[in-house]
Amino acid sequence: MQSLKRLFPSMLFAAMIAYFGYHALNGEQGVLNWIVVKNQINEAEIELAEARSEREALEVRAARLRSDSLDLDYVEERATALLNIAHPRDFVVDIETPDPR
């Protein structure tokens, strides 16, 4: 009984270390969850960068179509592409794309 009383504080301390150690690794704010959240943040930052570059490209295209700075060559190029027509004096070159399979 006397030896059990002497070991009790050590066992309690070991149990506390095990408890807090487990939650430090696997808990809601543990190291493993921190790694997962860090990866999610990196993926979100990559997605944000892609969205920003796409937005900038769209803003450039929209600026070229505004009436105060209208780029007639660009308007003609877009009309030709969208309507699938060409001017009678234009040369049309059909380029076959290789089959991706």
Q: Is the model more confident about 61 or about 99?
A: 61
Answer whether 35's CB lies under 8 Å from 41's CB.
no
- The pLDDT tens digits for 55-88 are 999 998 888 777 777 777 877 888 888 888 877 8
CA distance 19 to 10: 14
- pLDDT value at residue 88: 82
* Neighbour tally for 42: CB within 10 Å: 10
pTM of the model: 0.54
- pLDDT value at residue 101: 65
Answer whether 17's CB lies under 8 Å from 25's CB.
no
- The pLDDT tens digits for 4-51 are 788 888 899 999 999 989 888 888 888 889 999 999 999 999 999 999
What are the sequence ranges of the domains in the chain?
Answer: 15-83
Who contacts 80 (Cβ-Cβ below 8 Å, separation ≥6)?
Answer: 86, 87, 90
